[in-house]
Amino acid sequence: MKIGITCYPTYGGSGVIATELGKALALKGHTIHFISYALPFRLTKFVENIVFHEVEMSSYPLFEFPLYSLALASKMVEVIQYEKLDLLHVHYAIPHATSAYLAKQMLKGKHDIKIATTLHGTDITLVGLEPSFLPLVKFSIEESDGVTAVSRFLKEKTLTNYSIEKEIKVIPNFIDTNLYKPNQNCSFRKSIAPHGEKILVHTSNFRAVKRVADTIRIFEQVQKEVPSKLVLVGDGPDRSETERLCRQLGICDNVKFLGKQEGLVEILTASDLFLIPSQSESFGLAALEAMACGLPVVSSSVGGLPELIQHNECGFIAEIGDVERMAKYAIDLLTNEKKYELFSKNARARAVDKFDISKVVPMYEDHYLSLLES
């Protein structure tokens, strides 16, 4: 198939999944055309069968605000026509699904292009609920030829919040478990925990919804019972406040802020436990990456996390903000070697059996074929 993919090219789960999906499809012989305002950050190496098309923006002074959605629609039309695409797969509803609909209408009677829209999370649970966007999101979803969501939670939220009757297929996020896998020989561990301390890790974009301060408070209780270190990966608006909290609690010597990092596999494989106390997670890709590396997860009971993490098997789930319970769960795992080994094994097995790239990419291929055959 000849498939166009539009996604946000920056750090974030939707862009990661879209890019990795495109790379996997290209390796299977499909021709992939990425259409966006910048090269997706995961496209760092040349991959045969992948072409990138940059959306050019006009700087005409009359336009006070950039007209990206319109420029994107025009670029989609151009690529669809000249590359003879079979299907356009857009990730994140705003504005990608809207631009795709506009492109389809512009090509009406000339080229029948199918639109597959994948909903990832905040496009539905946050941004799309803004009064100025809600009718547009609802319309764009209903006018797509096929719609997928990354979790049952997100599917139900979409159907309920937007009063949509259209069928939504659940296709979960995925991971390459040949890349994300346990590694016992990791030099990074010795530099972080030179005296054999346990290492807890959290990765996020440090937004309020991630509740990174809860991660700090959980760790503060854990390190009183278990010699341990906390590694924080990522950056964002709440980082300064999180650093201030560490100083206030007097635990700075045991907390390492690494900022944005490319070598996530090395960091995860050097760690023992993953913390994700979020207020909202439509899937929890960061938790899946940790599980694939053999890390049990302690999380909040929100969104798609209970679909990913089996409570009392590969991790523990607690109510939002229940720092004490999450800390107790972490201490229990870090002080019980047999239980930890079992949970670690279960976490890895679940990632491999249910969410490996080899299991999920064929679901998208089947979805594409069903749209083309309709």
pLDDT in the model for residue 220: 97
The pair of structure tokens assigned to 113 is 């292009």
- How many whole angstroms separate alpha carbon 89 and alpha carbon 53? 14
pLDDT in the model for residue 127: 66
Do 295 and 238 form a contact (C-beta atoms < 8 A)? no
pLDDT in the model for residue 129: 65
What are the respective helix, strand and coil percentages of the chain, to the nearest 5? 45, 15, 35
Residue among 253, 270, 277 at smallest CA distance from 327 = 277
pLDDT in the model for residue 290: 97
The pLDDT profile of the chain, 374 residues, written as one tens digit per residue, is 999 999 999 867 888 999 999 999 999 999 999 999 999 988 888 889 999 999 988 777 777 777 899 999 999 999 999 999 999 999 988 899 999 999 999 999 999 999 999 999 877 776 656 777 888 889 999 999 999 999 999 999 999 988 888 999 999 999 999 999 998 767 788 889 999 999 999 999 999 999 999 999 999 999 999 999 999 999 999 999 999 999 999 999 999 999 988 888 999 999 999 999 999 899 999 999 999 999 999 999 999 999 999 999 999 999 999 999 999 999 999 999 999 999 999 999 999 999 999 999 999 999 999 999 98
Task: For residue 29, give the 3-state DSSP assignment.
Answer: coil
Distances (CA, A) of 336 to 217, 268, 343: 22, 20, 11
Distances (CA, A) of 202 to 212, 254, 304: 8, 14, 18
Q: Where in the chain are all domains bearing CATH 3.40.50.2000? A: 2-174+357-373, 187-355
Q: Superfamily assignment of 187-355 in CATH?
A: Glycogen Phosphorylase B; (3.40.50.2000)
Residue 165, number of CB atoms within 10 A of its CB:
7
pLDDT in the model for residue 128: 55
Which helix H or strand E contains 371, and what residues bound it? helix 357-373
pLDDT in the model for residue 284: 93
Tell me the CATH class for 2-174+357-373. Answer: alpha beta
